[in-house]
Amino acid sequence: MPTITYARAIKEAMAEEMRRDPSVILYGEDVANFGGIFKITAGLKEEFGEDRVFDTPISENAIVGAGVGAAITGLRPIVELQFADFLFTAADEIVLKAGMWRYVHGGAFKVPMVVRCPSGAAGVGPEHGQCPEAFFMHTPGLRIVSPATPADAKGLLKSAIRSDDPVLYFEHKLLYGTKGEVSEDPDLLVPMGKAAIRREGDALTLVAISAMVPKSLKVAERLAEEGYNIEVIDPRSLNPFDRPAIVESVKKTGRIVVAEEAYKTLGVGAEIGAMLMEQALEYLDRPLRRVALPDVPIPTAAVLEKFVLPNEQKIYDACRELLG
């Protein structure tokens, strides 16, 4: 299998699905003529034409609303928002329309739409650097994926495009340059709702979301040198969410740390903690530990951003506290 970047994997997924299905369209701010703010869509307008790849005005609510309309009338739009934070400016269309309408209208139509959401802090401040997945886990009807590897970036995006439900596709900006082996099979999909066990172990369960996966794997290697075998789980999909994979791991290890680049209060780690209270409390030897952002806006200054963001040392310290 060829080794490509996470960004290239996203582009390949879109191009392959557009070749396979003429109902797939792609649009957003600067995606056509400029090739996207992160250059992921460069060249797609030239291949597929301006009827299928086109630019839009700067209005996220209108962009997503048009996608809902296109989806319920037979197209499969891929909508790009320049930053995941802009989901909030389109919240009416995402939460009350895309997420609800299939149910509200008694299944009269489907809403096969993908919203690409570049997420994560990268020196861009509080309005352009959030990881807001947990906000939208609270919304019925939305599918949410957050790939951490190039192979999953491609396979999950292809699954999202083929889904008949609206999917929020969170792609972490700092993962764009990471590399990995990716299949060239255009029909190889990664199913939503199936977690990946990135490393097996029995001393502690470490659940890592998105960009926390490579950091957590490095922590696991460090702890292995100290004699601890850590199990690293990458959920990949947050709705549907592979709860059994986490519960079964905790039954084996008795300890769990959740690492995510999002606010600690009511984050993914909080949901996992509540789930374990309901389903696996008797298997926990120690309380759950969460490594996440404190409840403050993400700073723009690099030194302050580094201070608040989760990192390898913070993940290591949380694991060592439970292991100790």
Q: Which CATH number characterizes residue 29's domain?
A: 3.40.50.970
Cα dihedral sign, 177-182-186-187 = negative
CATH number at residue 306: 3.40.50.920
pLDDT at 125: 84
Distances in whole angstroms, Cα of residue 41 to Cα of each of 2, 28, 51, 52, 256? 20, 10, 15, 12, 39
Catalytic positions are: 128
The string of pLDDT tens digits covering residues 147-166 is 999 999 999 999 999 999 99
Bond into 310 cis (ω within 30): no
- Locate 220 and state its tokens: 């696991």
The string of pLDDT tens digits covering residues 13-50 is 999 999 999 999 999 999 999 999 999 999 999 999 99
User: Residue 58 sits in which domain range?
Assistant: 3-181
Same domain, 135 and 223: no
Domain finish residue from 181, 211, 234: 181
Q: Is 189 domain-assigned? A: no
Same domain, 229 and 157: no
pLDDT at 123: 80
Cα dihedral sign, 18-23-29-32 = positive
The string of pLDDT tens digits covering residues 102-152 is 999 999 999 999 999 999 988 888 889 999 999 999 999 999 999 999 999
The string of pLDDT tens digits covering residues 37-85 is 999 999 999 999 999 999 999 999 999 999 999 999 999 999 999 999 9
Average pLDDT over every residue of 207-217: 98
Name the pTM for this structure. Answer: 0.96
CA separation for the pair 228, 220 (Å, rounded): 8
Average pLDDT over every residue of 287-301: 95
